[in-house]
Structure 1
Amino acid sequence: MAAASIHPTAVVDPGARLGADVRIGAFTLIGAEVEIGDGTIVGPHCSIHGPTRIGQGNHIHGHAAIGGEPQDKKFAGERVELVIGDRNTIREFVTINRGTGDGGGVTRIGDDNWFLAYTHVAHDCNVGSHCVFSNNATLAGHVTVGDHVILSGFTGIHQFCRIGAHAFIGMGAFVNGDVPPFVMVAQDGYGRPRGINAEGLKRRGFDGARTSAIKRAYRAVYVSGDSLADARARLAEMAHDSDDVRAFLDFIDAGERPLLR
């Protein structure tokens, strides 16, 4: 494999480690303690600060700011890091910050995600794999996002919230509570659940039986009018016959913030 290709105007700290076939664009800054895996492309006018580890086959487009210090007044310069997986697409003006000392110390991004222009991932977030963050979608600190989640344009997620796998957050929705797996949220002041992400599940190969079980779980929590305690009891019964309902229930039981209802 070929050695890294660095534009003459780029600045790469001697302490940075670049894999094979890495390409660094014009006027880009690569700081100390940055590791970039094989085949990753970094466009022009980017900044990547360490400690940051970036995997293989990523494409970071122009003007992205990766691994910057957390936007947290309590941050006092302690050693914190950012870890990004493989094959992510990070578009123009995306910002992804490192963690904080009292928040776990690490911001983590999985594999095969799309971060479109102007999206922001704050300190101590944990983003899974195969997610799409549309333009201007924003995570506050300490947010956890499961796999296969779609955040539409101009969405905002409150700190410490969790977004379960396969959830869909509609355009302009502001989320201030946990969103269970498979659920679709639409704008209504603060976002409110509006059914399950049926189209997304169909595209990912969920058959009719799995989707029907998820719909029944959703109705138990959001349509029945039952208390959350009663809804949990109904989910526990349904979970005997459905791993997806079990995942739905486990997500609710693990929450520290209120469930978005």
Structure 2
Amino acid sequence: MASVHPSAIVDPKAQLDEGVEIGPYSIIGPNVTIGAGTKVGPHVVIEGHTTIGKDNQFFQFSSIGAAPQDKKWSGEPTRLVIGDRNTIREFCTFNTGTVQDKGVTTLGNDNWISAYVHLAHDCTVGSNTIFSNNAQLAGHVEIGDWVIMSGFANVHQFCKIGPHAFVGMSTSLTQDVPPFVLLNGNPAQAHGVNIEGLKRRGFTREQINAIRAAYKTLYRSGLTLEEAKAALLAQEAEADVVASGGDVHVRAMREFLDTASRGIVR
């Protein structure tokens, strides 16, 4: 059975799985589904067509599943989908999607979302990310797995950030960020590979060396973007890179360049 505080308001149509806890003065709307073991703290509002997985924790004063902050939205039943084992701290705002895009905002699994984080409409956030306080995403942003967003970092609409990238404090992003890249500043500038993060996640020395070589090809060789893509393709095929598994990561960086719709921070 779910545990609901007497002061909370839970619509009878809401679906709460076993072990869900709803704290004092929280409000749960009729189109909300919450998975087993999820804990909702006090003064949290969860509304809209929102689906939440298992074992999440919502701290106080967050607004989850509210209408998108988009003047084109006309009341369509768009969605917010949140995965499992996420921690969402105080005063976060997650909006549903719009029909002008996928119609859904998504957050994956095992993310750590600090206070005052905003996920706008139609954002896609992967798994194992960290968002520090006041990190802000505009609409239609895509964030890969294992990305770290430092405090007060903000991302322009339609930008993409590749897996394992690190975005420094107060960085303002208006272009896409390839995988593994560490960047900072306003305007943003690349400052190397997120080596410390890769070490923590078990990347081997050979794999990291392959990624560093790919970074130098893209950022330090003086090649045009098209020339750098060709050089990365050749680097994928090198015997030592393939043997170490580094070719997979070089390929990920090269293929990201083909999908970068706003150009890359370079």
Shift of 1:209: 0.5
Partner of 2:84: 86
TM-score with structure 1 length normalisation? 0.98
1:193 paired with 2:190, answer yes
Distance 1:54 1:217 in 2: 38
Structure 1 residue 70 and structure 2 residue 68: aligned?
yes
Structure 2 Cα separation of the partners of residues 84 and 58 of structure 1: 9
- Structure 1 gaps of 5+ residues are none
> In the alignment, is residue 259 of structure 1 matched against residue 264 of structure 2?
yes
Would you identify which runs of 4 or more consecutive aligned residues in structure 1 move more than 4 Å? none
SS state at 1:148 partner: coil
Residue of 36, 39, 45 corresponding to 1:38: 36
User: Identical aligned pairs, as a percentage?
Assistant: 52
Name the residue aligned to 1:205: 202
Report deviation, 1:82: 0.3
Counterparts of 1:57 and 1:50, CA distance in 2: 20
* Matched position secondary structure for 2:97: coil
The equivalent residue for 1:166 is 164
Give the distance between the partners of 2:179 and 2:171, measured in 1 at CA: 17
Q: Give the equivalent residue in structure 2 for 1:112.
A: 110
Partner of 1:127: 125
User: What is the CA-CA distance between 1:26 and the residue it aligns to?
Assistant: 0.5
d(CA) in 1 for partners of 2:101, 2:29: 23
Give the match's secondary structure for 1:63: coil
Instruction: State the number of aligned residues.
Output: 258
Per-residue CA deviations over 1:43-69 (Å, capped at 9, x if unaligned) read 000000120000000000000110010
- Give 2:251's aligned amino acid: R
Residues 206-252 of structure 1: CA distance to partner in whole angstroms, max 9, x if unpaired?
A: 11110011011111111111110111110011122311000100111
Residue equivalent to 1:248: 253
From 26, 29, 44, give the equivalent of 2:27.
Answer: 29
What stretches of structure 2 of length at least 5 have no aligned partner? none
TM-score, structure 2 normalization: 0.96
Partner of 1:97: 95
Letter in 1 for 2:249: D
